[in-house]
Amino acid sequence: MKDKELTAYCGLYCGDCIRFKCRASDLSALLLDELEKSRFQEYSKVKRRYIKELEHYEYMITVLKEISSIKCDVPCRIGGDGCGGSCQIIKCAKDKKIEGCWECAEFETCSNFDSLKPFHGDAPLKNLQKIKELGIEYWARYRETCYPWL
């Protein structure tokens, strides 16, 4: 995919997101399937008398299900779900018929970004400024990291 397709309306870069094409999600789904096929839950009930950690088997299954559900294959600019739920920023950009927030004169003071600040800080706004300055085709190599795992 090109940087343009991986650029979210809000200035996040989908290629950096852990949800985007997440191999951990695929592997979690495969493990859940294998555990079910082998009826590992029944085994864990017997063995938890000897292996104390197996007492947490059901909790592990819950965590694996959650990990397997976080995958995103399609960035929001080309029809994806906007980070797993209804996104006001996507709706606003589409309503205004703009390519992204960088085309809006109000993006630097827009309250739609408040929900991003606890996790991403000002990085999306800085990225939007770079997109506005450099263009959507060239901004990504100068992007701010928006995720703590980078």
| Structural domain boundaries enclosing 138 | 3-19+74-142
Number of domains in the chain: 2
pTM: 0.79
Q: Is 148 inside any structural domain? A: no
pLDDT exceeds 80 at position 34? yes
63 with 95, same domain: the answer is: no
**How many percent of the chain have pLDDT more than 90?**
67
Q: Is 150 inside any structural domain? A: no
Q: Is 149 inside any structural domain? A: no
Q: Is 147 inside any structural domain? A: no
Q: What is the pLDDT of residue 84?
A: 67
15 with 80, same domain: the answer is: yes
15 with 28, same domain: the answer is: no
Q: What is the pLDDT of residue 129?
A: 96
Token pair of 111 as six digits:
């309250």
